């Protein structure tokens, strides 16, 4: 029993960073591209966000509210950003799903903390699948981990 818990615990530790990522990218039913960025900024810090992608050696800014920088012209008025609970930002981009670069690294920065994820265009998942997956597997694994830690303390 203890041994199998240990195995699940180790498995959980390995899986949590993969499944409960700081940045997730998916395609909505209406074909908008959605990037969720769940970086938790330090409370004392002045909050700002920046969403971009890079393909090849070129990084293109999609949306930001860092003063002094602006989104690439092609993305002007194509995206919007909303706040996520308990922290983080969600960026939604319309009209680019069929023209996304093939091999893209999606990047978000919140108050200078950076998260990025590499996704090939064919491997973008529908958001409905992602949120189901995150809800079930993240909370399940976290529960398991808590249980595991609890029984050993
Ligand atoms: C960016 O937007 C967030 C949330 O709307 C706000 O809290 C923050 O102050 C803004 N940052 C700048 C530099 O305007
Ligand atoms: C994307 O990456 C894959 C795997 O690294 C590579 O085989 C493919 O040629 C790349 N496609 C483009 C369009 O760069």
Residue 64 is part of which domain span? 22-139
Domain-embedded: residue 15: no
Task: Give me the number of domains the chain comprises.
Answer: 1
In a domain, residue 102? The reply is yes
Tens digit of each residue's pLDDT (9 = 90 or more) over 81-94: 999 988 899 999 99
Cβ(102) to ligand 2 under 6 A? Answer: yes
Inter-CA distances, 100 with 18, 69, 104, Å: 23, 22, 8
**Quick check: is 30 in a domain?**
yes
Atom 10 of ligand 1, residue of closest alpha carbon: 48
Q: How many CB atoms lie within 10 A of CB 21?
A: 16
CATH number at residue 129: 2.60.40.10
The pLDDT value recorded for residue 140 is 59
With tokens 């004392």, the residue in question is 44
Query: Does residue 121 form part of some domain?
Result: yes
How far does CA 23 lie from the centroid of its chain?
Answer: 2
- Residue 16: inside a domain: no
The reply to whether 130 falls in a domain is yes
Sign of CA dihedral 15, 19, 20, 25: positive
pTM of structure: 0.75
Burial 87-106 (b: 16+ CB within 10 A, else e): ebbbbbbeebeeebeeebbb
Residue 150 lies in a domain: no
Q: Which residue ranges have their beta carbon within 6 Å of ligand 1?
A: 47-48, 65-67, 83
Closest-approaching ligand to the CA atom of 88: 1
Contact 28, 34 (CB under 8 A): yes
- Beta partners for residue 27, in sequence order: 33, 126
- Site to probe by mutation for ligand 1, drawn from 47, 87, 111 as the one with most ligand atoms within 8 Å of Cβ, is 47
* pLDDT, tens only, 7-51: 555 554 444 444 467 999 999 999 999 999 998 877 766 789 999
- Strand intervals (E) in 17-140: 23-27, 33-37, 49-55, 58-64, 79-83, 89-93, 103-110, 113-120, 125-126
Tell whether omega for the bond before 86 is within 30 degrees of 0, i.e. cis.
yes
pLDDT of residue 3: 60
Cβ of 46 below 6 Å from ligand 2: no
Region 114-130 average pLDDT = 90
Q: Can you give the pLDDT at residue 35?
A: 96
Token pair, residue 38, equals: 């769940």
- Confirm whether 61 is domain-assigned: yes
């Amino acid at each position: 029993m203890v041994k199998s818990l240990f195995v699940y615990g180790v498995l959980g530790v390995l899986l949590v960073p993969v499944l409960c990522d700081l940045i997730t990218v998916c395609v909505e039913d209406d074909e908008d591209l959605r990037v969720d960025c769940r970086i938790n900024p330090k409370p004392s810090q002045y909050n700002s966000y920046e969403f971009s992608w890079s393909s090849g050696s070129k990084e293109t800014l999609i949306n930001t509210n860092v003063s002094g920088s602006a989104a690439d012209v092609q993305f002007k008025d194509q995206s919007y950003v909303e706040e996520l609970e308990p922290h983080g930002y969600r960026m939604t981009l319309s009209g680019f799903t069929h023209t996304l670069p093939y091999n893209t690294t999606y990047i978000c920065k919140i108050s200078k903390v950076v998260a990025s994820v590499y996704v090939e265009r064919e491997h973008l998942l529908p958001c409905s699948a992602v949120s189901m997956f995150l809800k079930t597997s993240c909370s399940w694994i976290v529960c398991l981990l808590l249980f595991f830690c609890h029984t050993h303390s």
